[in-house]
Amino acid sequence: MNFKTIAFGKSDGVARIVLNRPDKLNSLDETMQRELGDAVLSTQTDPGVRCVLITGAGRAFCAGQDLGDGEEASISLDVGAVLEKYYNPLIKAITGMDKPVICAVNGVAAGAGANIALACDIVLAAKSASFIQAFSKIGLVPDAGGTWVLPRLIGHARASAITLLGEKISAAKAEDWGMIWKCVDDEDLQSTCDELALHLARQATTGLAYTKKLLQLGWQNSLPRQLELEAEFQRAAASTQDFREGVDAFRHKRQANFTGR
């Protein structure tokens, strides 16, 4: 696949997607919106991909929507149509993917850029990175799933404050609040995320997919319903080749060789 605004590569079961407009802080113009969506969707249907890693080039992860170079371009933009065409399908693809998605936040993540990152399953950030719900500063509302994910990650009080005030949240505070998994030294971010992605790509893919689904459904289900689903999904996971391989490896005290089947 040939892209203009992202870098895309695959190796060892990991698909790596790099937002690549560093001169624009990786802000999302229409080309990048389309290409990012296409790249994510392609990984879902690729049996050779067992983990996805998303990061940014340069000093920013993503500054959010590119509002254009001129006042007229920004004002005339139908943001609702952009959400319906690009952002909403992207968030659904990331959260609905049956393989883990890691985000390496290498710098500022603002607006939709922050919420795309937070839609991923595991989020790591460089210590110099920050998260900004900048919508209120230009008279807009949080989008790209922000109003759904933020209260679930950090609670209503903190979600209300950071979205209404538009305050910058450091990576360290994001970790402390539970907004992200962890922050690491800047120079260690990419190697840490690469190692994590490779580790996940070598795990039992179907079991990870069921786990991801159960965690999402747990927000809306009653405990009795969730217990039913755990039994249902456990039954399905136990029928896979990877389960048999895992048990055999455990019994013989060897490293499991999972194949994702």
- Is 258 inside any structural domain? no
- Is 131 inside any structural domain? yes
Q: Give the residue, 99 or 253, on which the prediction is more confident.
A: 99
Q: Assess whether 117 and 214 both reside in one domain.
A: no
Q: Assess whether 157 and 194 both reside in one domain.
A: yes
Q: What is the pLDDT of residue 71?
A: 46
Residue-number span of the structural domain to which 210 is assigned: 205-251
Residues in the chain: 261
- Is 256 inside any structural domain? no
Q: Assess whether 139 and 210 both reside in one domain.
A: no
Q: pLDDT tens digits for 141-161?
A: 999 999 999 999 999 999 999
For position 95, which CATH number holds?
3.90.226.10
pTM, whole model, 2 decimals?
A: 0.92
Q: Assess whether 58 and 91 both reside in one domain.
A: yes
Q: Assess whether 159 and 123 both reside in one domain.
A: yes
- Is 257 inside any structural domain? no
Q: What is the pLDDT of residue 75?
A: 56
Q: pLDDT tens digits for 8-63?
A: 999 999 999 999 999 999 999 999 999 999 999 999 999 999 999 999 999 999 99
- Is 20 inside any structural domain? yes
Q: What CA dihedral angle connects 183, 187, 190 and 192, to 10 degrees?
A: -60
Burial annotation 223-248 (CB, 10 A radius, 16+ → b, else e)? eeeeeebeeebeeebeebebbebbee
Q: Please tell me the distance from the alpha carbon of residue 202 to that of residue 208, in angstroms, as a whole number.
A: 11
Return the closest-CA partner of residue 211 out of 229, 196, 192, 193.
Answer: 229
Q: Assess whether 168 and 188 both reside in one domain.
A: yes
Q: What is 140-166 written as a DSSP string?
A: ----TTHHHHHHHHH-HHHHHHHHHH-
Residue 253 has pLDDT above 90, yes or no: no
